[in-house]
Chain A
Amino acid sequence: MPAPQHPPRPQTARPAASAASPASAASPASKGARRTRRPAERQPSLDDPRIMLDRQISSDLYEPIPPYPTRTEREAEFYTLGDGEMFLNVGPHHPATHGVLRLVLKLSGEQIVDVDPVLGYLHRGVEKICENSDYYHVIDQVDPLEYLSSLFQEWPAVLSFEKLMDVEVPRRAEYIRVLSGELLRISSHILYMGFLALDLGGLTPILYGFIERDEIVEMLAALTGARMLFNYFRIGGVNGDLNHEFMSRLGDWMSRAGRQTEANAGLLNENEIFVRRMRGVGTLDRATALSYGVTGGNLRASGVPFDVRRAHPYSIYPELEFNIPTRDEGDSLARYLIRVDEIRESLKIIDQCLHNMPDGPVMAKLPRLLRPRPGRAWGAVEGPRGMLGVYAISDGSDQPFRFRIHDPSFVNLETVTTLLPGHLLADTMAVVASLDPVMGGIDK
């Protein structure tokens, strides 16, 4: 079957007279003269502020229509406009795409016909860096992936390494991990609520949300030394024991956390504009969610009670009492309400951790240089966005041979291609924000 013809590129963005201009005729690099917006009599590219790096991504790349012939059938189908359709480029710099996500929307009027997410604007090559770091340094390198809740990115890494090396983690360390992790889950969900409202045009919830988030990261800073990229978990334990400042801040905050969460949620739950813009928008049914491999709150909002903490228990979660909230609707509102319920469950878990905190060491005894036996291990935890996993392969050296990171945001974001078509343009941000993507993890 012959591939469809590539549509002719629009010529409007380019000055047509560039070939005839004296500047470009004098210079062999006529493309450089065409890109600048200077008068033709000036010397070419003398005050062009871009350097070589920018050269590889010349201005052609941001246009919705790629400058090359289409390479796949899907690309050919997407970039062929039907009757009355148009392209709209959203991002990579957009206030509501939660980072540097770029969506190319194909619109018919105001209705979305198709969507092509373009990723890679935050690709930092973390997996490769991890494979060139030794086992201790990997924990620091994976932090900025899931930057809103970076402990959940350290956790699967240390979990897989502990399986590789058969390390027994002290119980107090496990309790501290769960305690700090659940605090961070609350912080992430609070920001989720705020940004969801912000993308729909409401400024107030984020102002309230950041009060709680700042308090949580400040108390974690007292525990770990950093506000965002903690580098706190270690292979066989955690970096430091609980201290007085953390405990006093936590006690203060816990005394008002429940009430404050309800108040913050009330701002949105009882807001009719918010509810009507979220209900029935971006409905993800159970079969589709399972076929895509969606995890986390997005899957539980579609009626599947899958939670790694219960399905594949790790750490001390089998000993804790908490519920797995699920909903059947699968729409954006359900995804939001799941997060609110999870905040309540996390508060319960923190309460149990504080009451049952055992005494003892927080680190297992380990050699300075780790050389696990050759083998492979999979560690997965339930993060705020779903299952975060790490598949580590050891070849017996002090560096992992392969360090594969599974990120839930990547899987969850894939569903926008099925969720968005049929909706209006204004619903784009509601759906994308309700999926809660974090671009650091998606692009790795």
Chain B
Amino acid sequence: MAVVDRGSKGRAAAAKATPAGAKAAGNRQVVAVTPGQLAAPIIVPNTLWQSSNPLAYDGGRPTDVTHLREFGQTDAGRNDAVRWGALQVIPTNADYILDLIRANSLWPLLSGLACCAFEMMSAATSKNDMDRWGMFPFRASPRQADVLIVAGTLTTKMSGPLVRLWEQMPEPKWCVALGDCTVSGGRYKRSYSVVQGIDRVMPVDVYIPGCPPRPEGLIYGMLQLGQLVKDRRGHWNEREIGPTVPDDI
């Protein structure tokens, strides 16, 4: 169980000239990031198929900016009003109180992808009753949900719809990665079609490992998330908006 407090970390990383990951040893070459200069993006070339329309999907050209993380380390990215103004959401002093209320009624989105979804349902039904902590009403609409529990393997084909669901959820919102597949790719580390950890496509607050985790594991992770909401209350605008892949993996 790992709880990521991105609030303070993001501040610390932004204050430093080079991130700590630049010195980490690993099999991947680590690019030192300086403010104002974007790191090399992770580009997954599309070699599987070719669209019959040559102009579709921008003709296969890469995007100019891929990671919000690098943007967050620039001057413009440190300005909360710039980052969150786009979403038209700015927390106020009232959120110090409102977040205490939110922490006790975290409503998840009903989104099951694969095996872990059944352990999620098991956590919600009779034996392990998540309703005891105010977590039960699984909302079928992202407009009414606070937490996205990504339960199951996220494939590249499904990542687009899932990111769209995440974007449709109103702020403040949190994301729980349930199961090994969503944490890191898990047993599909060698697969060509699985996203190797959902933090490559969206920010994650709580990681719950296991294949699949027991329902008690999910409940414990959700309780940790409640504590995280309380710890971070009034400051959820310090959370990053985009993916949070660490540099040194």
Contacts and interface: CB of A to CB of B under 8 A. Distances in A.
Interface stretch (B9-17, B58-66, B227-235): B58-66
B162 interface: yes
Interface string B162-178: 11111100000000000
A122 B159 contact: no
Given A56-B46, A213-B122, A229-B212, A46 B61 contact: no
A147 interface: yes
Interface in A116-157: 120-126, 128-129, 132, 140-141, 144, 147-148
Identify the interface centre among B77, B112, B195: most chain A CB within 10 Å of its CB.
Answer: B112
A147 B212 CA distance: 10
A132 B110 CA distance: 35
B28 interface: no
A147 B242 contact: no
Nearest to B46: A56
B153 interface: yes
Nearest to A214: B127
B122 A71 contact: no
Contact of A122 (B44, B65, B111, B114): B114
Interface in B144-170: 152-153, 155-167
B119 A144 contact: no
Nearest to A229: B211
B71 interface: yes
Contacts of B2: none
B244 to A, nearest CB: 10
Say whether chain B's binding surface is mostly helix, strand, loop, or mixed: loop
B76 interface: yes
Contacts of A99: 112-114, 117
A208 B121 CA distance: 13
B113 A210 contact: no
B154 to A, nearest CB: 9
A57 B156 contact: yes
B127 A211 contact: yes
Contact of B160 (A46, A54, A125, A210): A54
Contacts of B27: none
A92 B167 contact: no
Contacts, number: 193
Contact of A144 (B42, B162, B164, B187): B187
B160 A45 contact: no
Contacts of A125: 188, 191-194
A163 to B, nearest CB: 26
A199 to B, nearest CB: 12
Contacts of B41: 51-52
A128 B152 CA distance: 20
Nearest to B109: A93
Nearest to A49: B242
Interface residues of A, number: 62
A210 B126 contact: yes
B198 to A, nearest CB: 11
Contacts of A59: 160, 164
A125 B58 CA distance: 27
B194 A47 contact: no
Contacts of A44: 64-65
Contacts of B52: 68-69, 71
A138 to B, nearest CB: 12
Contact of A47 (B68, B118, B152, B190): B68
Identify the interface centre among B64, B164, B188: most chain A CB within 10 Å of its CB.
Answer: B64
Identify the interface centre among A31, A93, A126, A148: most chain B CB within 10 Å of its CB.
Answer: A93
Nearest to A39: B86
A48 B42 CA distance: 15
B86 A50 contact: no
B137 to A, nearest CB: 12
A228 B155 CA distance: 20
Contact of A92 (B63, B83, B161): B161
A139 B190 CA distance: 16
Given A48-B65, A49-B163, A56 B191 contact: no
A68 B200 contact: no
A340 to B, nearest CB: 20
B33 interface: no
Interface in B227-249: 241-243
Contact of B53 (A38, A67, A207): A67
B201 interface: yes
Interface of B: 41-44, 46, 51-53, 56-58, 61-68, 71, 76-77, 83, 86, 110-115, 117-119, 121-122, 125-128, 140, 152-153, 155-167, 187-188, 190-195, 200-203, 211-212, 214, 241-243
11 contacts: A46-B77, A51-B66, A51-B242, A52-B62, A53-B159, A60-B56, A132-B190, A213-B122, A228-B118, A229-B115, A439-B114
Given A122-B153, A211-B127, 4 more contacts: A47-B68, A57-B159, A59-B164, A67-B56
The 10 A-B residue pairs whose C-beta atoms are closest, nearest first, are A147-B115, A49-B242, A210-B125, A57-B160, A125-B191, A121-B158, A214-B127, A31-B58, A51-B66, A211-B126
